[in-house]
Structure formats: C-alpha cells, structure tokens
Amino acid sequence: MKMSSVLDQLDLKDKVAIVTGSGRGLGKAMAIALADAGADLVVTARSQGEIEQTSKEIEKKGGKALAVQADMTDPGQVSHLAHQTIERFGKVDILVNNAGLAIAKPFQELSLEEWQRTIDTNLTSLFLCCQAVGPYMIRQRRGKIINITSIDGAAGKAALVAYCASKGGGIQFTKALAVEWAKFNIQVNAIGPGAFYTKPMAVILDDEKLGPIRRKKIPLGREGRPEELGPLVVYLASSASDFMTGETIFIDGGELAKL
C-alpha cells in the first residue's frame, strides 16, 4: 500500500471549515490559510462587513466561502450558523473556535457584567459551538476542533483575571472534550498564541515606550504575524494530526519557556 506524502496529508480539498471571529486578525488569517489548503470556508463574526471582506478575499483566490453573521454567545445564532453550513455545504469537518474578548482592568474594578461577558465570549462560546457542530461530526465519525486559547491561559497576568480564567478554562475544555469524543474519531486540540500583531495588540506594540517592553519579554525579540498561525491550523485541521488530541500548542516566540 502506497503511503501518502506529507503534502497530501495536509491537503484539505473537499473539507468544510467554520472559523469564528474570522472578520479580522488571527481568525481571518487562519480562514485564508485553510482556504489556501483547499477547504471550503464558513466565516463568521458579529460584523457583517468584515466577514464579507474575508469571504471576498477567499473567493478572489479561487476558494468557496459563506459569510454568516452571528454572535457566538447566542445559542440561537450559533445553531443557525451550523444549519446554514449544512444547508450550503452538506457537512462540517473543521471547527476553529477563535472568537475572543479581553478586558484589561484591575480585578477590584472588574464588574460582574464584564466578567460574565468575557467568560461567555471566550469559554461559553466553545460549549455552544461544539454542541451545535458536534452532532454532524459524530454522525460522520470524524472531525477536527481547534480552540484558540492563549499563553495567558497557562500563566497569570495582572489586570486580566477574567481573560486568564476563561482561556485556562478553554485549555481544560479541550482536554476533556478530546477524551470524550475520541471514540467518534474527533480530534480536539488548541492553539495558544502569544503576542501577535493584531488590532488590539497594536495599541501596545506601536507605543514607543510599551512596545519595546512587551517585545523584551519574548526571547525571539518580536511579535508574531497573524499569517504565522496558518501552517499550524492547517496541520491541526488535516489528517496529518489524526493521532494528536487534547493538546495545546503554544506559539509565542518562547515567552512561556522564559517564565
């Protein structure tokens, strides 16, 4: 029997992927990477304009994309997203849970509403999306779920208590669901990014004083570029990672290793 090549294993042709929070930043970069590898994409976020732009960029490169506006904390909207995906493409093979929120504020000043909004966006959204997509993956006896967490889920950081708690919860969610759904041949893994140049991080990285301080914490001496997540998400979405589940891969320029 002829073994498939490494590149063949990374081919996502005929696969269907949902990427939440894919209107900009890391989510957009990952959606485009999956499309480049051959997958059909469902891009979703709360901003219709942003996801339509992501969809257009994918289609301009010859891919297929569907833009569905949805709030990942709303059960009805998440269910609608899953149904729209099946209606358009007939299946779902890959789910990338990327929607996220960070509120930087001293703990004593953090309101209950801000705490709940952070937990809902970063953790409850994983629960809702996996429950909505899970039945289709279970029925076809295969699937790839990739949860985007953070290095802050593994290390504490002042003024980010809710964010750290939610991202740490995402890491444990990944492990537990991976164990439970292994019998269905569904692999559940996570990616924990460090400092990447996105719109929220640009406020710090572009600052003359704060930028150098932030970069000094990173052994490689620079922030990540969104497109650098592309090869990793393609690997975790492909058959090349079929024997990996329950893992969190940190991509942070060595920042956690330095702690």
**Residues with catalytic annotation?**
163
> Residue 181 in contact with residue 134, Cβ under 8 Å?
yes
CA angle 121, 122, 128 (to 5 degrees): 70
User: Encoding tokens for residue 123?
Assistant: 């953790």
CA distance 228 to 120: 27
Whole-angstrom distance, CA of residue 160 vs CA of residue 20: 22
What is the DSSP secondary structure assignment for residue 70, as one 8-state letter? -
